[in-house]
Structure 1
Amino acid sequence: MDESLRQAARTGKVNELYTVIQRNGNVLRHFDEVEFIETPLHIAAEEGCIEFAMEMMNLKPSFARKLNHQGLSPLHIAVRKGHKEMALRFLEIDKHLVRVRGKKGKTPLHYLCKVGNQLGLLDPFLEASPDCLQDVTIENRTALHIAIQNNRLDVLQLLIPTLKRKDYYWEVVNRKDKDGNTALHIAAIHNQPKMLKLLLNCKADKHATNQVGLTALGIAQQHNYRENIAILKGCFIPVVSNFKRKLEEQVVKYVTKASLLIFQNMDNISADDRNALLVILGLLLTATYQATLSPPGGVWQGENTSKSKGSYDEMVLGKSVMGQMDFLLFYILTYLVFLVTLFLTLALLKTFPHGFRTALQVLLAFLAVSFDESISDIAPTNLTYVILNIFSGILFLLMVSMCIVCRVSKISVSIVGCWILPSILYLCLGRSEIGMGVGQGLLLFLILYDEFCKGTILIVCYCLFVSVCVFFGTSIDFKYLVALMGCWQFLSLGRLCIMQCTQFCNTRL
């Protein structure tokens, strides 16, 4: 490197940079020709010369991704030297610099996880490129591994909430390093009970084994870390815990296989194709929903609503004038089109930002509920009503399946469950409203067992909605609402008590 250029970079004098350029217009060209080299941008990053670094980024953006002889990019150096403002300015120009892999595959995020978040750079890094949490070193270690290994609880407390908002959180939190250790193993090795709790709340697999066949619990028992043992046991009967794990693995395995067959390569569709498909699917959703608002032939109205001449049956009011078979032929096909369209739309939303995607999923869940209710309301006979309830059950099961493979949120599934399950359970449980409430509470608990606050808010809102409907004349027994709320609270509080008792007993042991 030209000594004048080096001096200009060290002192941060932009005028001297241009003096060098005036003497030799190609002074910066040879840096691009060498694979690993220390550029003026590296020197400016080390010295904290922001103005010079920004000018260099303006002239040669490629320098920001160059690695020096130590395998470090300018952003690596800025993080290591603690130049916060410099690092932030780099991100303003190119947010993907967070994912530049340096020596041993470490990104700037990995360096930050090692040194800690004293400078407050972690939030900007995660905001700039949330997917950087997927990056691993050559030892297959994630940012979680590195933060735990260096006892950076403050870093882990920021990483976990960001990770939980991602569809791939389970894969990241359970990724194994070269020794087969997950982040949970590392936390157990370093005796970090608070970190263990954070990881377990993020669905860390406590049954995962490393290359020597040890689980995180096995490691804790080897070192006799009593608090860690209490946290990791989590069940009075190991057989129950193992059965639950194997059942979950099998369900996830087969649902994931089915999902791959249906949605394979869907996430790789270009933005233009995705937008075009969403427009087409939107039109299909509109057309199928319109069929419930304006059924062929209309609905029975006025005084002459009965099919029996000279008589009047108020139950026929608002029902479709179509015959039973005609109604089923038309609306079964309509329901199938709606189902396929709805789930293709939900699948295409996966690449959208988390918050925006969740909002759209909730709206689509309410649309599905409205569609189902509309068809049920105009069903002309009990048989058609029962058959349509079968499709309602299929809708709910498909929502659950998509939730398992992280394509829809739990809250969306719960919304569909709240409004669709009652009629199905009412028919299946011999028209018992108490049984309907208990069954609905049980199914919702199975979905939202680990999200007590969200589940309680949803059920309270649903109960208020039903109460308003009752006020305006809907024939629903309040025993149903009491059974629903009681079942949810009983199961949730029971789970909490079991967890507390388990932890207490394990600690005493």
Structure 2
Amino acid sequence: MEQTLDVVQQVLMAAQENNIDAFYGLLGQDPYILDRIDTIPFVQTPLHTAASAGSTHFASEVLRLKPSFGKKLSLDGLSALDLALRGGHTQTVRGLIKHDPQLIRVEGKKGITPLHYVSEAEDRADLLAEFLYRCPKSIEDLTIAGESAVHIAVNNSNLRGFKVLLGWMEETGNKHILEWEDENGNTVLHLAASSRNNIEAARLIIKQRTFRRAINCCNVAGLTALDIALGHPNAEEHGSIAKALCAAGAKRSTSHSKTINLADYCALIPARSWLGHFSAPNYRLVKVPNPRNPSINSMSGEKRSALLVVAVLIATATYQAILNPPGGLASGNTDISTNSTSNSTDAGYGNPQAGSAPLLLFPNFGVGTAQAWELPFIIFITFNSVLFALSLLTICFLVEANDTWGKLLKPALAYFSICYAISLLIITPDLLSGGAGAVGMLVVFCWPRGMLQVSSATARVVRNAIRGETIIPLPRETSKTGG
């Protein structure tokens, strides 16, 4: 035992001196020395010693031989990367994260990760950007107090760090993190409104459109960001923040509609009809996680692939239905003088008379148009267009937005929908009806919020099922003067 301890001390001394040759000489005396150190849950490993001393090459060598050391915590609750950061050894830090980017997500004491640490001060902005680039998912990590890196940057008045985080969230589509709350229910806007040093940060947050829906949320104390800004001891200095909040539609908690807790809402479910879910005038809408519809980010790869296959098949089938609609398409040349086509001599809805608007715009209007243009066909083409649009919308949500191929696929789907709309215009004898169907389809696909205008019930079921949320109504406070 004493001999083992002596070898361990010599290994730690070699780590401090960045002596790799001596380290391998010690391994020759005891090949299992690293394995024995690895069995201890919390320990000062040679990697920790090398990282705290700035021995970059030694740290990289040990991490290569024993990757598990990178995730071990010392008796002080710090990882090797934490020690390198606190020692100011930037080269060692870059060497470690280059070997294993996941070290950025190792939670130390109080759940603080290396990303949280570099978010505290402005002089670490370069490392902050590099950490985000090496490990994009690290921005989602929270401390035991529920604080994200964005919370920490704003709490420490780190404007440059906040701008780096905000720019990264905008680039990667993660601006919803601005709405996350800590253990006290504070969003980053609550924190920004509480300090005069965060005026610019508050203005940047307010400008984010995605944050507008959370601008009036209350913390655990029941205060909104506007309440905090107006109630600050230096209210005069916070006047600019309050003005910016008011201009963005912020309200005080006293003007909020009345809310109920989840237990009260669940108790109301049996007494409420399904139609009241969407049409009750005395209710406001809030979002809660739906356990039956997990978030797209937590969906397994196999399930995502299966849904993608189904969505692609639906899109293919609906597009093919436009190219070959029920009843077929008219063929041959249109004879305006005799008002007849090679397939039909009857002037009707599918065969416009000479001099009518369709024939004046398109001389061969009868060619390629649907023959069975009756009410059943109108119903078919309407539902077919909705199915096509919803299938493309599903594909958009299932494809990773941050992936390069995902960014290329979405414009391709948009052009694909335009091709569908043009095909729809060509086969419909009535230009007005065909144009209305195409425009409605494009609104559903290109502007998800527009679905609420088309069909509230359908839109909420589809959008929230995909996003893993359900919209529940909570009662609004009725006006005392309105009865």
| 3-state DSSP of counterpart to 1:114 | coil
Which one of 298, 302, 316 corresponds to residue 333 of structure 2?
302
Partner of 2:219: 210
Q: 1:362: Cα distance to partner?
A: 2.9
Normalising by structure 2, we get a TM-score of 0.72
1:45 correspondence with 2:51: yes
User: Match for 2:393: what amino acid?
Assistant: F
Residue 136 of structure 1 aligns with an amino acid whose one-letter code is L
Helix, strand or coil for the counterpart of 1:34?
coil
TM-score, normalised to structure 1, is: 0.68
Residue identity in the other structure for 2:321:
A
Q: Distance in 1 between matches of 2:421 and 2:252?
A: 39
Using the aligned pairs only, state the percent identity: 28
- Contact kept in structure 2, 1:95 and 1:128, CA below 8 Å: yes
- SS of the equivalent of 1:35 reads coil
Structure with the greater alpha carbon radius of gyration: 2
Q: Is the alpha carbon distance of 1:164 and 1:227 closer, same or farther for their aligned partners in structure 2, counting shifts above 3 Å?
A: farther
Q: Report the counterpart of residue 183 of structure 1 in structure 2.
A: 188
Which residue in 1 is equivalent to 2:300?
Answer: 270
Q: Is the 8 A contact 2:42 2:72 kept in 1?
A: yes
Distance (whole Å) between structure 2 residues aligned to residue 303 and residue 382 of structure 1: 17
Superposed displacement of residue 379, structure 1:
1.3
Q: Which residue of the partner structure matches residue 86 of structure 1?
A: 92
Aligned twin of 1:133: 139
Q: Name which of 355, 363, 371 aligns with 2:420.
A: 371
Separation in structure 2 between the aligned mates of residue 45 and residue 246 of structure 1, nearest angstrom: 54
Which consecutive unaligned segments of at least 5 residues does structure 1 have? 409-509
Deviation at 1:188, TM superposition (A): 2.6
Q: 1:495 corresponds to which residue? A: none
Q: Tell me, what secondary structure is at the counterpart of 1:223?
A: coil
Distance 1:398 1:260 in 2: 23
Structure 1 segments (4+ residues) deviating >6 Å: 235-240, 242-247, 250-253, 401-405
Q: 1:400 to 1:368 in 2, by over 3 A?
A: farther
**8 Å Cα contact 1:133/1:142 also seen in 2:** yes
Change (3 A) 1:43 1:156: same
Q: Which residue of 2 aligns with 1:323?
A: 373
| Conserved 8 A contact 1:82-1:119 | no
The alignment partner of 2:74 has SS state of coil
Instruction: Name the CA distance, whole Å, in 2 between partners of 1:389 and 1:78.
Output: 59
Tell me the distance in 1 between the aligned counterparts of 2:411 and 2:291.
Answer: 25
2:91 partner letter: E
1:166·1:354 contact (CA, 8 Å) conserved in 2? Answer: no
For 1:405-437, what per-residue CA distance to the aligned partner results, in whole angstroms no more than 9, with x for missing partners? 9x99xxxxxxxxxxxxxxxxxxxxxxxxxxxxx
Q: Within 5 A, what are the aligned runs for 1:318-467?
A: 318=367, 319-325=369-375, 327-328=377-378, 330-349=380-399, 351-353=400-402, 356-381=405-430, 384-385=433-434, 388=437, 392=441, 395=444, 399-400=448-449
8 Å CA contact 1:217–1:229 kept in 2: the answer is no
The residue that corresponds to 1:456 in the other structure is none
What pairs up with 1:188-267 in 2 under 5 angstroms?
188-191=193-196, 192-202=198-208, 203=211, 205-221=214-230, 222-226=232-236, 228-234=238-244, 264=294, 266-267=296-297
In structure 1, what is the equivalent of residue 265 of structure 2? none
Secondary structure of residue in 1 paired with 2:126:
coil
Unmatched segments (≥5 aa) in structure 2: 259-276, 348-352, 453-458, 464-483
Distance change (3 Å), C-alpha of 1:179 and 1:279 = closer
Letter in 2 for 1:154: R
Structure number having the greater helix percentage: 1
Bigger mean CA offset, 337-346 vs 71-80: 337-346
Deviation at 1:209, TM superposition (A): 3.2
